[in-house]
Structures are given as C-alpha cells and as structure tokens.
Structure 1
C-alpha cells in the first residue's frame, strides 16, 4: 500500500509532462500540415518543384563547389 504514495504523484507528473509536450507541439506547428507527407510520397520526383524544397539552394551550392 505504501507504493501507491509514490505512484500517484509520479503518474500526475508524467501526465502533466505529456500535456505540456502536446501544447508545445501544437504551438510550434507540428500539426499544421497533416496531409502533406501523405500526398508527397505519391508524387514522382520529376513533379516536385525544387524551388519549394527548403534545402534546394544549399544542395546547388555544394554541387557547384565539387564540380
């Protein structure tokens, strides 16, 4: 029975941490584009516009330096 005095506060702390992580994820935009990845895997690589990729300029700079 003494174990319950440690388990209840531990579960409350764990629950509060989970709620805090949920709110952090929602505020930082983790749930903004839920369908994007699902649709992106169906596209051919030729159909993807490289100008919309975030690292397209960095990849071009690296390729120019090596060639």
Structure 2
C-alpha cells in the first residue's frame, strides 16, 4: 500500500511539472506562429558557402 502512495505522489509531481512547462511555453508565446512550420519544407535551404570561381 505504501508503494501506491509513493507512485501517486511521484506521478502528481511529474504531472505538475509538465503543466508548469506548458504554461511557461504558452506565456512566452512559443505557440504563436502556426503558419511558418507548415510551409517551411517548401523553401529551399540557403547554401552555406557561395561557389568559388576558378
């Protein structure tokens, strides 16, 4: 019976930590841009180094 109380306590602590992380992400506007991720794959990547002429 003691292990059940321990597991419930640990699961509640983990759930509260996930809730705090979610609220923090929402308040710091991590979910504001919903358009860019859906079209990011359509854009070409910029080359890192420009081609050099011989």
Under a length normalisation based on structure 1, what TM-score does the superposition of the two structures give?
0.58
> Which of the pair is proportionally richer in helix?
1
| Cα separation, 2, equivalents of 1:43 and 1:5 | 52
Unaligned runs of 5+ in 1: 47-67
Unaligned runs of 5+ in 2: 47-54
Equivalences, count: 46
C-alpha RMSD of the superposition: 1.7
Under a length normalisation based on structure 2, what TM-score does the superposition of the two structures give?
0.69
